[in-house]
Amino acid sequence: MLRRIALLLKKKLVNVAGSKPDLLSIPDDVSFAAIDGTPVTAGGYVFSEFGINSRKNSILGISQCRSSVIKIQIKEEPNKANTLEQEAQFLAELNAADCISAPRLLSTGSLAPSEVPFASFGLERKQESERYSYIIMQYIPSASTVSIADVLLAIVEQQKLGYFHGDIKPNNVRFDPEQKICILIDYDQSQRLTQEQRDMTPHEFLLWAMGQTFRDSSSKVKIDALHDERKRNAYFNGNAFRIDSTTLYKEQMTTNSESGVYHSFATPDVFADGSRILGTREQWLKKIAVTPDEKVLDVGCNGGVVSFYMHDRGASVTGIDVDQCIVTAAQILANIFNKNVSFSALNLDDAETLPEYDTVLLFSVIHHTEKLERNCSLLATRCNRILIECRLVEKGKGPRGKHWKDTSEWNFESIEDLQKGLENLFAPHKVVRTFGPGDKGRFLFELIKD
């Protein structure tokens, strides 16, 4: 009776969560329990808690530090598109492409029957001559709900990298609370995409993906909210995926504006309703020379609009930003746009030193840092050229918890005074070109090491 009440309660909770259009309820994961006898050692990892999947074709174990999971195939599954080895190959390819929404493949190999904990599941072991293949992957515990927008971001990232997961259903969806992204697990139904499929817009691709059936009839996109056209449209602007509907965008704090989003995107694949596009800056930037493979650091890169522009001009770009969420979003955007730009989270105020660059970009950022003078001197020692966008009067702010705190400021009366001020801050660099005023009174200065 008690069990029945618990089941009813659980069902109710799932329905309540499910009634929110934005959240997908995730059923209970495989339950893991400590096994009798010696823990299993494989690929340098030690596993002592195991469970069995619902089809009873794989035994799964969690490592003692709960950071990796082993999948041991105990029975071939003829209905699956991929063998365990092929599944490992998909993961290896996604990892090599720096895909953010796939778990890391850590190891592969095989175990003798005596090493597999069959007895814990009432199964009989086979002849000792047989071996059982395994793969070891990064373990991401199951969250109780995952936002549909986050699932879509994972699907779009993998589509643009050339892959379809092939079995999108609640059991295969995880949420990594540290990275704040959806990770898709279980690649036994995955497929490589043709160029035509990769080139589809995310909305077209989703419709294609939902229409897919595989040899296993359960393998198709099964998320109800996506089958309802009205609900589905909330995640798209036309055919472009609204990246600003994801947890990464909702939790990033990089601008104190009403929308909370700084960089707008309006490509056929991605849309974000922010406050700035390349706009006036592009007409100035076009006039600035960029040499092939020039090493560029984009400080306060945000969603990557300027980094992507400099990449398209032939530069080798690294973007840094204090906000981990926007950096992860920028990395995923780089994968979606197929642009080789590297992004990482760094607070310039905490950087003791930096690698050397040819050019440092400081677009509407330096006054938002706290150690203005120290940061400018550090950057001046690390590059030959600085491109800085700023106004005569700047009053910086930075998020501290849920509030915005004043950081650095300046107040110059004329463009000549601002130029001198910048030359002091970035000595021995000298201003060689000035553009503006443009967007909301901003200027762009090019400074070269004297």
Ligand X SMILES: C[S@@+](CC[C@H](N)C(=O)[O-])C[C@H]1O[C@@H](n2cnc3c(N)ncnc32)[C@H](O)[C@@H]1O
What's the number of CA atoms in the CB half-sphere (13 Å) around residue 327?
17
Residue 447 Cβ vs ligand X, minimum distance, rounded to whole Å: 17
Residue 448 Cβ vs ligand X, minimum distance, rounded to whole Å: 20
Token digits of residue 118:
């069959």
Q: Indicate the Cα dihedral angle 69, 70, 73, 77, nearest 10°.
A: 20
The smaller minimum CB distance to ligand X, of residues 326 and 447, is found at 326
Residue 413 Cβ vs ligand X, minimum distance, rounded to whole Å: 23
Closest C-alpha among 102, 115, 76, 119 to residue 164: 102
The smaller minimum CB distance to ligand X, of residues 68 and 369, is found at 369
Residue 285 Cβ vs ligand X, minimum distance, rounded to whole Å: 11
Closest C-alpha among 414, 408, 405, 420 to residue 441: 414
What interhelical angle do 372-382 and 415-425 show, nearest 10?
A: 70
The smaller minimum CB distance to ligand X, of residues 32 and 404, is found at 404
Angle at 268 between CA 258 and CA 153, to 5 degrees: 65
The smaller minimum CB distance to ligand X, of residues 183 and 322, is found at 322
Residue 183 Cβ vs ligand X, minimum distance, rounded to whole Å: 25
The smaller minimum CB distance to ligand X, of residues 201 and 254, is found at 254
The smaller minimum CB distance to ligand X, of residues 184 and 388, is found at 388
Query: What 3-state class would DSSP assign to 436?
Result: coil
Q: Determine phi and psi for 232, rounding to 5 degrees.
A: -60, -40
The smaller minimum CB distance to ligand X, of residues 226 and 305, is found at 305
Give the span between the Cα atoms of 383 and 297, in whole angstroms. 9
Give the span between the Cα atoms of 118 and 269, in whole angstroms. 47
Token digits of residue 392:
């005569």
Residue 244 Cβ vs ligand X, minimum distance, rounded to whole Å: 14
Residue 161 Cβ vs ligand X, minimum distance, rounded to whole Å: 25
Q: Indicate the Cα dihedral angle 411, 415, 421, 423, nearest 10°.
A: 160
The smaller minimum CB distance to ligand X, of residues 176 and 321, is found at 321
Closest C-alpha among 205, 332, 194 to residue 268: 205
Query: What 3-state class would DSSP assign to 58?
Result: strand
Q: Which class for 448: exposed (0-12), middle (13-18), buried (19 or more C-beta within 10 A)?
A: middle
The smaller minimum CB distance to ligand X, of residues 75 and 405, is found at 405
The smaller minimum CB distance to ligand X, of residues 78 and 401, is found at 401
Binding site for ligand X (CB under 6 A): 254-255, 262-263, 276, 299-300, 302, 305-306, 320-323, 326, 347-349, 363-365, 368-369, 398
Residue 230 Cβ vs ligand X, minimum distance, rounded to whole Å: 33
Is residue 362 within 8 A of residue 379, CB to CB? The reply is yes
The smaller minimum CB distance to ligand X, of residues 22 and 349, is found at 349
Q: What is the DSSP string of 232-265?
A: HHTTEETTEEEGGGSHHHHH-----SSSS--B-E
Question: Cβ neighbours of residue 20 under 8 Å, at least 6 residues apart?
Answer: none
Residue 407 Cβ vs ligand X, minimum distance, rounded to whole Å: 7
Is residue 24 within 8 A of residue 148, CB to CB? The reply is yes
Question: Cβ neighbours of residue 6 under 8 Å, at least 6 residues apart?
Answer: none
Closest C-alpha among 176, 171, 173 to residue 184: 173
CB closest to ligand X, residue no: 300
Angle at 310 between CA 304 and CA 312, to 5 degrees: 100
Give the span between the Cα atoms of 339 and 317, in whole angstroms. 10
Residue 362 Cβ vs ligand X, minimum distance, rounded to whole Å: 8
Residue 65 Cβ vs ligand X, minimum distance, rounded to whole Å: 32
The smaller minimum CB distance to ligand X, of residues 193 and 301, is found at 301
Residue 280 Cβ vs ligand X, minimum distance, rounded to whole Å: 11
